[in-house]
Structure 1
């Protein structure tokens, strides 16, 4: 059974990778791709796909907010597969009864399993539709989740200090001293000119909530940098850049293609 699909992700490479894997797996016709939540709502309304591969974290509207918009506008809900680089979003995906989630980088076998799930749930000719009670339960779960997320994202008091765990100690570090923070394997590392440790935050988004948005910049999905601690902008392959920081190791941090425009604006490149 062939499925129609949309791919919504703000990262071009992620969209290309998923498109390629879907073509390899077969049985899926990708009708269009979108780069943000606003485009997602309009594409879903226009194309009415069987399934949407929806990035959780996007500028403007995140994946959960996209579904909230669809509900508000009474747009028929497609099957949803959340794509994310962070494991904790898997739990939220199933709280809203998404059919599945895919962790980045994508795995061909995992994509194939997801497509099989989606195909099994598509209503064929002459088959009964899903019970309306099930649909109502999904919508209630989603609305509850969006409400909880909105409360969680309410502005928090900014003390100017960040807790860093280093050598079995909890240090209160002035955020001005932070050179950069990075995430790998679900652990956030924080680097200053004198200290390297770990944050208790679960995601870089959570850490960013504690930091001055005028001073800190999400240069890459895995890195947050303090603009004042950038020592050098290094031209890299295919019009990309790296940032050489002023920490003792002179760490080089990649700038994602999506953030290249922001880099040029910051330093008039």
Structure 2
């Protein structure tokens, strides 16, 4: 399991436990997004732990059960498990289950705050907390596989969030931000200069992708009128 987690860019192992009692304490303390829960554990089963977690106040982690016995599947879904991995499972099966959680997180993020042209901020999940990001402070946004990196004027303050560039693009006001290639979104007001195929934000040159050129050209023509 730890090997699979290490192979997955959008997952980071917070902790691992040998029993459900220890797991419950750490889940309360660290509030992870996902818990991979083995049903067969000493003293308290994974299924019993899942029921206890549902009774606790605060946000619930997404649960993915792992077990060698398939007769627990129906019971697992009764406690709102995202998925159920039957041992031995492959990395492909593991990744498919983890991607379900990623998709659910992105959908929840989009519902959490719908940005309009008048809004001045968004919220992004950074590690284990929601962070308020002022739109006027964003220098540009870069895609890094399943994460985005938000760059600011102060390079030391950049943040990483587990969300796709497409999902973040949908959260941002189109009148202020534009995706200019597969990997970058830029705030239009931060563009310092434009060449034939690139834009410059401070000293950073970003190429305008082929499929985005016409839209970008239309915007530039409006500026030059």
Q: Tell me the TM-score normalized by structure 1.
A: 0.39
